[in-house]
A and B are shown apart, each in its own frame.
Chain A
Amino acid sequence: GAVVSQHPSRVICKSGTSVKIECRSLDFQATTMFWYRQFPKQSLMLMATSNEGSKATYEQGVEKDKFLINHASLTLSTLTVTSAHPEDSSFYICSARDLASGGESSYNEQFFGPGTRLTVL
């Protein structure tokens, strides 16, 4: 089945530093990857849609200069949290769609990575 990995799984950093999170589709190609943030006991909030070879589409209220997204290849997207602050502490999850899948349900089935727990001190 389709597997998505994330690295690192957990990171603790000091306030003001930048953190890069990688999202990889291991056994399929993904033209589109999604980045979500999830606070404890809350829903997944879509931050941005990452398209290979083009600029990411950010959701309303998400600062694109703070959350830098690079989708350099069909298997890799990165999210960089710049100048992180304690309020950025959250669970960041990426997901990807399988380019090769066809049919009505192919778009909607997103394969999620295991998530990255970011703690900013």
Chain B
Amino acid sequence: GQSLEQPSEVTAVEGAIVQINCTYQTSGFYGLSWYQQHDGGAPTFLSYNALDGLEETGRFSSFLSRSDSYGYLLLQELQMKDSASYFCAVRDDSGGYQKVTFGIGTKLQVIP
């Protein structure tokens, strides 16, 4: 099976930078992705890393280290609207077929 660990809650100040870490255990790993979900809404795709390194998309960046089974999401120039839950998700075929498994989610609160 798979397991993912990420902090349950993070609080950061508007304009600051915050990093949300995710560690995982799985076999047949393909990649790590990040999703954002506002309260009552559906998840929206943010990023995907299949290879080691940093991927940057605007204010958001995502990093992966396959050897450490570790990744993070970096949010810069935080805005109030960034307050949401952020899920890391592992794509693997440990069950004999490809699927995506989500972590518990990190609730980010941005304060003025």
Whether B102 lies near A44 (C-beta < 8 A) is yes
Whether a CB of chain B sits under 8 angstroms from the CB of A43 is: yes
Chain A residues with CB under 8 A of B98: 107
Among A34, A42, A95, which residue has its beta carbon within 8 angstroms of that of B104?
A42
Contacts from B to A (Cβ < 8 Å): 30-31, 33, 41-45, 48, 50, 87, 89, 91, 97-105, 107
Whether a CB of chain B sits under 8 angstroms from the CB of A8 is: no
Contacts from A to B (Cβ < 8 Å): 34, 41-46, 49, 57, 93, 95, 104-105, 107-115
Chain A residues with CB under 8 A of B97: 49, 57
The 4 tightest CB contacts between A and B, nearest first, are A112-B42, A44-B102, A43-B104, A108-B48
In the complex, A18→B89 CA distance in Å?
Answer: 31
Least Cβ distance of A28 to chain B in Å? 14
Identify whether the interface residues of B are mostly helix, strand, loop, or mixed.
strand
Chain A residues with CB under 8 A of B89: 108
Chain A residues with CB under 8 A of B41: 114-115
Least Cβ distance of A34 to chain B in Å? 8
In the complex, A46→B87 CA distance in Å?
Answer: 14
Whether B42 lies near A110 (C-beta < 8 A) is no
Q: Which of A41, A107, A115 has the most CB of B within 10 A?
A: A107
In the complex, A45→B1 CA distance in Å?
Answer: 14
Whether B33 lies near A108 (C-beta < 8 A) is yes
Among B42, B45, B99, which residue has its beta carbon within 8 angstroms of that of A46?
B99
9 pairs of residues in contact across A and B, judged by CB atoms under 8 Å:
A41-B107, A42-B104, A43-B102, A43-B104, A46-B101, A108-B31, A108-B48, A110-B45, A115-B42
Chain A residues with CB under 8 A of B102: 43-46
In the complex, A121→B108 CA distance in Å?
Answer: 32
Whether B87 lies near A112 (C-beta < 8 A) is no
Whether A109 lies near B48 (C-beta < 8 A) is yes
Whether A109 lies near B45 (C-beta < 8 A) is yes
